């Protein structure tokens, strides 16, 4: 609905205005609408970008920057999945199960081994996420408590491309 239609809809029930398109009030409302219509579109865009499920541009980019991941070449659904995964890590997200879920949500197939005595977490990567730059390790390590050493083990890695096996 345009700004003119919206204003007209609000004013007609009062019975004070004819608003058939030929009155001075119509012309004044149309003049207001010329300025308001672009603002309506901006507000609609702002509303869409304010929520992850409907964002397609800066709404995703700002969240990715805040989370430390900026891979805009990914499809919007993949970007949303990563934002959801990283945004869901909370205060109780330091358990083995929470890290396994985070890795799975990021598309990383891995097994975790905890060495509590030596404060070490070994991530045995079986399959890396496809199409992500190598810095996804840094993203995951941001969620590991500072007193725990992270070791990445690729000895069980299954290549994403069969050609890599040759």
Dump pLDDT digits (tens) for 67-98. Answer: 888 766 778 888 898 888 888 877 666 788 88
> How many domains are contained in the chain?
2
Which CATH number belongs to the domain containing residue 145 in this structure? 3.30.300
66 inside domain: no
CB 55 within 8 A of CB 26: no
63 inside domain: no
Here the tokens at position 65 are 């920057």
71 inside domain: no
pLDDT over threshold 90, residue 135: no
Domain shared by 103 and 156, yes or no = yes
3-state SS assignment for residue 34: helix
Position 91 scores a pLDDT of: 67
Q: Domain containing 121: what range?
A: 92-165
Angle between helical axes of 24-49 and 58-67 (0-180°, round to 10): 30
Higher pLDDT, 38 or 133: 38
22 inside domain: yes
Domain shared by 161 and 98, yes or no = yes
Here the tokens at position 106 are 């990021």
18 inside domain: yes
pLDDT tens figures, 109-133: 899 999 999 999 999 988 877 656 5
86 inside domain: no
Domain shared by 96 and 161, yes or no = yes
Using alpha carbons, list the distances in angstroms from residue 139 to 12, 33, 38, 111, 143.
Answer: 57, 47, 39, 17, 8
65 inside domain: no
């Amino acid at each position: 609905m345009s700004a003119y239609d919206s204003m007209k809809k609000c004013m007609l029930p009062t019975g004070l205005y004819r608003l058939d398109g030929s009155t001075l009030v119509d012309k004044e409302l149309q003049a207001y609408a010329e300025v308001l219509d672009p603002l309506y579109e901006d507000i609609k865009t702002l509303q869409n970008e304010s929520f992850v499920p409907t964002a397609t541009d800066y709404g995703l980019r700002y969240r990715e920057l805040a989370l430390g991941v900026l891979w805009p070449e990914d499809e919007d659904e993949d970007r949303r999945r990563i934002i959801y995964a990283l945004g869901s890590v909370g205060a109780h997200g330091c358990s083995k199960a929470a890290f396994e879920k985070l890795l799975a949500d990021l598309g990383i197939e891995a097994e975790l081994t905890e060495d509590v005595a030596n404060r070490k977490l070994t991530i045995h990567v079986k399959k890396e996420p496809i199409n992500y730059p190598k810095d996804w390790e840094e993203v995951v390590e941001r969620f590991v408590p500072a007193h725990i050493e992270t070791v990445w083990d690729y000895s069980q890695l299954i290549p994403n491309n069969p050609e890599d096996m040759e």
